[in-house]
Amino acid sequence: MMDAQTLVARMMAPLARRLRLMVGRGVVTSINDGGKVQTAQVKLLDGEVRDGVEILQQYGMTSIPPGQREGLYFAVGGDRDHGVMICVADRQFRLRAIAPGEAALYDDLGQRVHLTREGIVIDGAGLPVKIFNTPQVTIDTPLVSMTGNLAVAGNIVAQGDISDHGTRSMAGMRGTYNDHTHHENGVGGSTSKPSQAMS
């Protein structure tokens, strides 16, 4: 006859097994992004392969990691046939050595938006940055420094001054034009200021 301890252990064995298999690492071999929820093919323990596994993502954020994608596989209720993946990432492209409290959005091309302790850094990785489908972009800062070109399809409306080459400003050009005179060749004296001033 079986003793009580052995009987309890035998009864609990299926439950213990389900608990052990509830959470594990998974390697994502393919991702389908066409539906309302991303689904994936996932390799688990000992060659176990699961198809149509939902990938749960945070609201407002979505991605398809390239290359060696890994994540956590959760067997809901311990049922290996009803699993979901979370935290799917590719460690090869993770932005490294950020400071405590910082956050970043990044990809495998080197593009990133990095919220640093000193301010926001946007790295376009040599690719264009486009802002579209908005009636207005407002930059409320005393100085914006950038290299490269700025292409604008509409008007530029500035509450402050516009300068080029670091020294020439629109206000300075207006002042020079409005106050300028010419020396009258062969007559002497100078002309009057322009009758129509730049406003």
Q: Do strands 163-164 and 49-55 pair parallel, antiparallel, or not at all (unpaired)?
A: unpaired
Q: How far apart are CA 18 and CA 8, in angstroms?
A: 16
**Nearest alpha carbon to residue 110 among 124, 89, 90, 128:** 124
> Do residues 82 and 104 share a domain?
no
| pLDDT exceeds cutoff 70 at 54 | yes
> Do residues 66 and 18 share a domain?
yes
Among 38, 73, 89, which residue terminates a domain?
89
- Quick one: tokens of 118? 């000193």
Q: pTM for this structure? A: 0.67
CATH of the domain at 33: 2.40.50
pLDDT in tens, 112-128: 999 999 999 999 999 98
The tally of domains found in the chain comes to: 2
| pLDDT exceeds cutoff 90 at 149 | no
Residues 6+ away with beta carbon under 8 Å from 37: 54, 55, 56
Is residue 139 situated within a structural domain?
Answer: yes
Question: What pLDDT, on a 0 to 100 scale, did the predictor assign at position 63?
Answer: 93
Is residue 193 situated within a structural domain?
Answer: no
Of 180 and 38, the structure prediction assigns the larger pLDDT to: 38
Name the residue range of residue 167's domain. Answer: 94-180
> Do residues 84 and 116 share a domain?
no
pLDDT in tens, 7-29: 777 877 777 777 777 888 999 99
- Quick one: tokens of 22? 């509830």
